[in-house]
Amino acid sequence: MDQYIGKMLDNRYELLELIGSGGMANVYKAKCHRLNRLVAIKILKSELAENAEFRRRFRDESLAVAQLSHANIVSIYDVSSTQGIDYIVMELIDGITLKQYMERRGHMDWREALHFITQIMRGLSHAHSRGIIHRDIKPQNIMVLRDGSVKVADFGIACLADAHQTLAQEALGSVHYISPEQAKGERLDARSDIYSAGVVLYEMLTGRLPFEGDSAVSVAIQHLSSVPLSPREINPDIPAALELICMKAMNADRDKRYQSADAMLMDLEKFRKDPTVDLDYIRTELTASVDEQPTSKLPVQRVAAAVKNRQAEEEDDEDSGSILAYIRENKKMAGLLAAGVALIVLIFVVIFAGFGGSGGKNKAYQVPNILGYTVEDANELETIKDIFTIEVVGTMNDSNYQPGQIVQQDPAAGAERRSNFVIQVYVCAERQEITMPNLLGNVYQNAKLKLQQYDLNLNIIQTEAFSTEFTAGQIMETEPAAGTVLKKGDTVTLTVSKGPESITVPTFTTMKYEKAKAEAEKLGLKVGKPEYRYYDPFANEGDVLAQSILPGTQVQGGTEIVFTVYGSQGDQTRTVRVEYLVPDEFSGEDTIRVEFIMDDQVVETKIFSGSDATVGYDYEGKPGTASTVYARINGVATESQVISF
């Protein structure tokens, strides 16, 4: 049996069952007893937890990802470490992976693929805008929910795997989706995620992967040196524009790839609105190396020298996780790679020679950088006037620009154009001021959720204070106050009431129960479950006969008071508390699991600290009845006893 099943983490999360396992961590279904909800908990494997530096990075990366809040990203609720166990708490997804969905679905319609890739790119756009790169986008890390929405999982965790996985193990599943620069062990940016998303789109459209091989290395080499079949060669029903979007996303040259997730979303949105849209500019870009570059001779000796220099650099590279580190250990494979690169370059030389004569037919213009300009000012630039046409396709919120300024352009600055001289842009939207809402009287969790929906990355702090105006648990004060303009990254302090600091308990025995309960709560007392008495010749139904705190007693706000009420209704119940001694054999354990049994039925299971000498439970029953009760403490049954109600 798994050592963690039934374990309680931080006296809050009860691990129920193992639901997934990977190279770095195991995932458990768990119950959060504080918020009474089911969650998923990812626990770092013990062999990795022994590495202090890895544990630090695991925590830092998880805390960074916990700041992400988007409908298409699996949420992280908590990051913690207890008793040598490092774990993160995530939302529990009711669904399957995109990989499982594709396997069950078989052939996927291009409309469905468009629906999924758009949501994936929205999630990536949100993460990239906050400086977080996924590094391991693949169908296994994308969850499909029952309503057809998708969520990207394992943000931030993949970057840790870079330094610990080998080609013979976890990389084999990911290598089909890695970018060429990732295969070469180079520094990654957001465009690497875009390449992987392009491969996912390719697989959804065609039902197959762009590159296959017998080993991770052979697949990686294909990412570096091969061009896959175009999707329409496999499935002619795929619209031409969607094929172009896919091939641009997975271009081996990252400078010709989409430069941002938002840029790819722009084209996806254009295609969604009009599947016949002309995206021929992509084809022009993809063939630019053939049509626009001057013919030049490239000696084979230069190719060999470049490969040799690259191999020398790799000798100093200590990143054992990169694919070339593996190749370095296999000289035969390194030789094959060098020969492959040389062959590809020679092919390009032949192509350049064949197409070089057409290079001078149209003059090439370089696309200028117009970010930060208004459309009117950009149209006055000498590099724009009489050459390019600026087309505004929408507005975007961006705190780095003023309203009306261009915040995004497509094509990007530096691209060359011989035709299709249209630059599509997004301009900064007019800022809508977000003000601090009135949260007084809300419970803390609801108030926090209301603030988080503004997507301002607010730093929310909770404090407590006594209050005679607000009952315990309610927000009694906010800083800043309601109506104050909120800015990105502001700190918001929510003060939660602890109830009155001191309460003089009045007499409740002259009241009906409902009135007594309302008056007690108004004063700041916590009203416990009432007890009932069924014999009093002078009382009427619902009268308060006694109170657990004597009148005139001074108590702190939030103190519990229990009323004894006269009642004889058939559906009323009484409670009898039974205490059980904890066996000495369990006294040293962190937690103990106790099942409370009544008439051979388990009525509740609770987790207690092993330091508790006794554990108790309030059994409920109808007046005039009796029951046999006992408890099982860590599976060991106590003596049974009969209790009367």
- Known catalytic residues are 136
**Residue 216 to residue 428: CA distance in whole angstroms:** 44
Is beta strand 85-91 parallel, antiparallel or unpaired with respect to 76-82? antiparallel
End-to-end CA distance of the chain: 40
Residue 167: φ, ψ to 5°: -65, -25
Q: Report which DSSP code applies to 456.
A: S
Q: Report which DSSP code applies to 51.
A: -
**Residue 402 to residue 429: CA distance in whole angstroms:** 8
The two tokens of residue 555 are 């108590």
If one counts every other C-beta atom within 10 angstroms of the C-beta of residue 58, the result is: 25
Closest to 387 (Cα-Cα) out of 367, 357, 414, 411: 367
Report CA-CA distances (Å) from 564 to 528, 534, 575, 616.
10, 10, 12, 21
Task: Quickly count helices (H) and strands (E) in the chain.
Answer: 20, 33
CA angle 497-501-507, nearest 5°?
Answer: 110
Residue type, 406: I
Hey, what's the torsion of the CAs at 149, 153, 155, 160, to 10 degrees? -160
**Residue 343 to residue 351: CA distance in whole angstroms:** 12
What does the buried/exposed string (b/e) look like for 90-126 if buried means 16 or more CB atoms within 10 Å of the residue's CB?
bbbbebebbbebbeeeeebebeebbbbbbbbbbbbbb
Is beta strand 491-497 parallel, antiparallel or unpaired with respect to 475-479? antiparallel
Closest to 119 (Cα-Cα) out of 92, 91, 96, 142: 142
> Cβ distance 232 to 243 under 8 Å?
yes
Three-state SS for 250-317 is CCCCCCCCCCCHHHHHHHHHHHHHCCCCCCHHHHHHHCHHHHCCCCCCCCHHHHHHHHHHHHHHHHCC
Q: Is the dihedral of CA 169, 172, 178, 182 positive or negative?
A: positive
